[in-house]
Amino acid sequence: MTPFGARIRELRRERGVTLKDMAEALDVSSAYLSALEHGRRGRPTWALMQSILQYFNIIWDEADELIRLAELSHPRIVIDTAGLSPEATLLANRLARAIGALPPVQVRRLLLILGEREDDEPGPMSAD
């Protein structure tokens, strides 16, 4: 599950909304919405993101946070290390190979090293 998917699921549960009801309201299939929550689909389009924000009546900081989570939730990442140091390429390859076996505490430590904090500013989301 992606961070975005986890937050969408949490919002649905908090508000008593079923997957089917939300999918109908957003004019997407339940299967697509489920796949989005579970990280089997890429990030939502800008238009779908706007529909989700409207659906949950989310504004300001909470909207910024949900957009940030969507930006950070692509389930299949490609890291281009062309032009970087051999160590950077090694790091990318080792991480790709080991990430599935890392315990949650080590994942959190790596996120701290990389500067991922809850108060990080979101970047612009592309209008895919």
- Indicate the pTM of the whole model: 0.70
Residue scoring higher pLDDT (26 or 71): 26
For the cut 70, the answer to whether the pLDDT of residue 35 exceeds it is yes
Q: What is the pLDDT of residues 68-114, one digit of tens each?
A: 999 888 888 889 999 999 999 999 999 999 999 999 999 999 989 98
User: What is the average pLDDT value for the chain, to the nearest integer?
Assistant: 88
- How far are the Cα atoms of 109, 111, 125 from residue 117, in angstroms, in the given order? 11, 8, 18
Q: What are the chain's domains?
A: 1-128 (1.10.260.40)
For the cut 50, the answer to whether the pLDDT of residue 128 exceeds it is no
pLDDT for 116? 67
Cα Rg of the chain (Å, integer): 16
